[in-house]
Structures are given as structure tokens and as C-alpha cells.
Structure 1
Amino acid sequence: MKYIDEFQDPDLARRLLDRIHATVTRPWALMEVCGGQTHTIIRHGIDQLLPDEVELIHGPGCPVCVTPLEVIDKALEIASRPEVIFCSFGDMLRVPGTGRDLFGVRGEGGDVRVVYSPLDALRIAQQNPDRQVVFFGIGFETTAPPNAMTVHQARKLGIRNFSLLVSHVRVPPAIEAIMRSPDCRVQAFLAAGHVCSVMGTGEYPALAERHRVPIVVTGFEPLDILEGVRRTVEQLERGEHTVDNAYPRAVRAEGNPAARAMLDDVFEVTDRAWRGIGVIPRSGWRLAERYREFDAEHRFSVHGIDTVEPAACRAGEVLQGLLKPHQCEAFGTVCTPRTPLGATMVSSEGACAAYYLYRRLDAAPARQEATSVV
């Protein structure tokens, strides 16, 4: 298949669903790692078309959602400074910090700008040599290479008024943390194809073997998800726990060597806090020592941050797969996309946003007859 619409073919979807129904003999709990996959699942009702025995658990795969509150508050403090032009992708502007968000800072007079690439922020720095330009660098392994390349370019060009506020996280340590949790019910993972397109699959075999869980790399269209579920269920039923690449059109075992080389040059692995989860060892990146002058936290020395999460928000439990969004008492009432309590409601990849957008507002509806996913 060559075209996106082929990966939404209802006849092929029915055939995959039939195979899954014919294969499963006992309950299984699968976690999709990526928030983009969660939105595909909820939008197309894939979770309702699967056999009752197959449960899809939503994982912490939304980079906006797991950016820790302390980093959000640091961003707000830096963005409020008159000498700063603060640049970010648009999905971060409404993520709530303690009491306000970046939209609020802009409304108060802060120079907060939406950009579409970190290179846009670097260009703004070139055009405004008398201002400090900060780019909010968040995300998983997919967005880290262009951010690393931008810092590399800033040093090469001698642009000293540019810096990066870094909050990058890594998927494999998160899987490790999930499996070590005493409340874990996950028996297999659907791994994020775009992450593996950068990093490859080299870190996953040890995880699969250590925790005896299948890990199947999948894409983001309905048939990608269903094929990933099919392969995962077949492994579980056979008692196997291997890494399987169901997304070969984008993923190679070695990943993207050029992108990985850039990451190794600019970043170094560090412990990282995840919002609603806590600190996960070696789960993030920070700028390497030779690039430390471009680290916004180092440059602006923000201290005295006192973070306060809304008491009614249970986004942490949603991110850990312990709670479905509609099971939170605040969901759809005091917490909506217009008045979000947590990042999972405002992010375009957040599980709460998916449930609200596609009207999963109450208890899970009854399973539907498998007719179409388009």
C-alpha cells in the first residue's frame, strides 16, 4: 500500500478485526505508548470494535502532557522578562502552569510567539540581536533532533542571544518505569513508530525480555493500529515476548543514524521528572556541557519556583494508565478544553482531549458491531 487512504480501508479493517476475534482466548491489556495513537483509537472507535478480552490502556505518550509543572512555571517566569522573546509551538501556550499559562503571559505584555520550527526562533534571534530569544524545546525522541541541530547551528553561527529551555524525554525508560510499578496491568506495548524511526529498536529487546512483554512498533492510521494489535495478541496467545516491527515503511532497526549522531553531540542523558508521574531515571536529555551556554535554565538562573497542581486534576493517573479520562470527577465539568486543569485536556495528543473531542463523556459505551473504522 502506498497511500494514506489505503490504511483506512474498512474492508481490510474488518479482516484484521476478524483475525483478532478469532485469535483471542483470554483477557489481555495492551498499552499504546503514543498520544497520536490514542487519538486514532478513540476517533475511529477501535477500542469498541476489538473483542471484549482486548483492553487498550492509554500511556504517557503525549510530550506536552508529561512536561513537568516546574518547567512550565520556569517558562512562564522567563517569558515574563522584558528582554526575552519566548518562542514555542502553539500546543504549549494553553498548558496550565501554577495559576496561568503562556497565553496569559502574552496578555500581560510578554513577547510570546508561536513558531513552526526551532529554526524560526533562531532566525528571530538573528533579527533581534538586542533581545534574548528562548525556544521551548519539549518532546520525545521525534522532536529532539531538530532542536539539537538548531543549537548546533547557533554555536556554529556565533548567535549568542539564543537559548533552549529543554524538557526532552525518552520512551524506553518510561516503559521500564511502567513495568516496575506495583499497579501495572500492562501485558504488551504498541510502540510509537515515529520515535523508532529516529532511534531504531535497539533498546526494546532487553525490555521485552526482562519484563516478558511483546513490544510491537506501529504507525498511526487505523490499519496500523489494528495490525499492531493483531501481532501483539498473537504473541500473547503463543506465550512469546519479542520486538516486532509492524511499521517497516518508516522504521529501520538502526533508526536514523544522522539524527542519532546529532543527539549524541548536543545532548546528554539525564534523569527527568514527568508531570503526574515523578522522576524517571535516565529518561530525558539535557544540553551537554559544551553547549551549556545555550541552556535557558542555566542562562536565566530561575529559582524559587513553587508549583501547585490543581487538587481535582487526576491527569497523573490518566498518564500512568490507571484511569480512563471519563472516570475523573472533573472531566467535562470543571475541566474542559476551555478551562483545562491539566495538560491532558488541552494538548492535541492528550487522552482527556481525545475523550472530550470524540464525545466519550460518560462511562464507556457498549461494544459496537465491527462495521467500519472510517
Structure 2
Amino acid sequence: MNNNYYCIIMAGGMGRRFWPYSRKKLPKQFLDFFGTGDTLLRITFDRCKGLISPQNIYITTYIDYKDIVKSILPEIDEKQIIIEEERRNTAPSLAYASYLIQKINPDATIVVMPSDQLVLNIDAFREAILKGLDFASKSGKLINVGIKPTRPETGYGYIQIEEEEREGDFCKIKTFIEKPALEFAKVFVEENEFYWNSGIFIWHVTTIMKAFHENMTEVCPRLECDAPDFTACPNISIDYSIMEKADNVYVQMCDFGWADVGTWQALYDVSPKDVNKNVIMNSNSLLYDCNDNVILMPEGKLVVAEGLEGYLVAEHDNVLLICKKDDQHAIRRFVNDVEMRFGEDYV
């Protein structure tokens, strides 16, 4: 393995779109969604171990989750857990993590990935990431890993490539499109110039630090220190702050069986289904005239339902949620309303 290759796994989010199973005290990245005995964070870490030395894998997370990360990944050193004192989205978090890695190794090339994604073809994934690390280490480009669309998905962001500026599997990005309407998503699938934005990034540490200094000048002094001040940083993603502004951003065109397990609908898409296209997870159930649903209940509970189509039925702890499964914006609204009316006991 190349000792100049590093990985940052982002594991600080609250996962509100997976409520009520994902909760503030124990969000989705720390849960075993697929019944394998492994959490999403553990699966992501093990996927990276095949191409990055374990001591070069860092986890960024919110301060309240430090002990959870340590319990899931007992083999890593405490210095590999990078703490966010306040949630300020991915840009401040990655700016601080990149600064720390640069201090350790100024020749580092880094792959950044969320902790809640599914990869079906591990060998193809590792081959692609190694190719991206090699390209980023030599080119001075910021790489956004793009996935060839297989369906008109409205829940993902898209990247349009600039075919005229292509270097093998790498193309200059023409524009970003955030979660399009269905009619546009159908066009994007048919065209060869659009890719899903995977949220996986690859860059040399010098390249990304230069981008932070050019595009977030007010943030760098607050983070490039031993006691970072996250409270003084804007709440902004790496996509909006850097990737959509910099002029050296390229997409790496990939296909390794990728899915973002970010919503109930996304989980439905990648899960095994019964003959009526229902996803039944860890639950006993009797379903009559029910199609296209997700059922997730605590062990020992029985679900009996009739006439449901396209619904989510999920119970966890002290909350039972029944709603249309494909309306991710509604679930965010439910969580906000519950928190305002009943406090934090249910979120």
C-alpha cells in the first residue's frame, strides 16, 4: 500500500431522513441496517482497508459520537478520530481534517467518503479509487467520483461532464445539478454526459488546502490551529463551498454498484423484495394486498396490514411512523414538527 494515501470517512451526521430508526443519540451510520452484524461505519472502514493502510484512515464525527466510533472501530488510534465540537456541515469538517493530515504528511493524497453508502462490487471500487488517488496525486485536480446512472433517480445530485476536456476516465466538470425533477432525470439517464454525484472526493492535500484558502479565506484561520473554532464557521457543504467554485474540478467516471443509503426510498431500492415488491426487514409480517412497501419493526413485533401501497411502516424505541416511503422531505418535516411540539425525547 502507498503510505501517502489517506482516507477520511465522514460519520458526524444525524441521519434525520431515516427517522425514527436513526435518532440523534444513535444515527444511521452506527446501525446495522442489513442484518449482517456490522454497522454502516464498520462496513465502510473495512471496504477502505483493502486500499488504504488502517493507520491512515481517519473518521470525522460529532463530539457526542466519539465513544460510539471507538466501540465500533476499537483497532484505530484515538488520534484518528477527528472531532467536530459543533455541527457545521462538511466543508469546515474537511478543512480541519485536511489541515491535520497535511501536518502529518504534506505529500498525502486523500479519498473522502460518507459512512452510509453501499458498494456492491468491492474489487471495482478499490480499482477505481486507486486510479483516482494516482491521478489526483499527480494532476493538481480535485476529483469528484461520478457514477453512471442506471435509472431516473430524483434523490441524487448529477454532474454534467465536459467531453472535450477528458483524460482517460477523468473529465472536467461542466456543471452540477441538484436533485432534478423526474422529467429531467429521465433525460440524464439517456445522455452519456451525466453522472450521479457520489459524494466521494479525491485530492492531494496541497490541492484542497489551496482551494480552501482561495474560496473560504475567513474559515481557514479558525480551523488551522490546535483548538478549532467550529462555532465561528458557516454551515456549508464541501459541494457548495469548493467543488462548485473551483476551476480544477474533474469527475472520475465509475461504475461499481454504488448506492447512497441516505433515505428510506434508497434503502428500498437496494434491498431484497418479496413477490409483491415489499421490503420486510427484521420483522414478522402478514401483508394482504400490499405492494411496494418498507416494513421495519423491533424484534418480536408482528405487523398485519392490508391495502398498503408505497408506504413506510417503521417502529423504533418510542416512535411508530407510517407514511409514504418516497417523500423524504416529509420525513424531515415530521422530525422538525415532533421536536418543536414534544421536545427531543422522540428525535
TM-score between both structures, scaled by the size of structure 1: 0.29
> Larger strand proportion, structure 1 or 2?
2
Q: TM-score, normalised by structure 2?
A: 0.31
Q: Which has the higher helix share?
A: 1
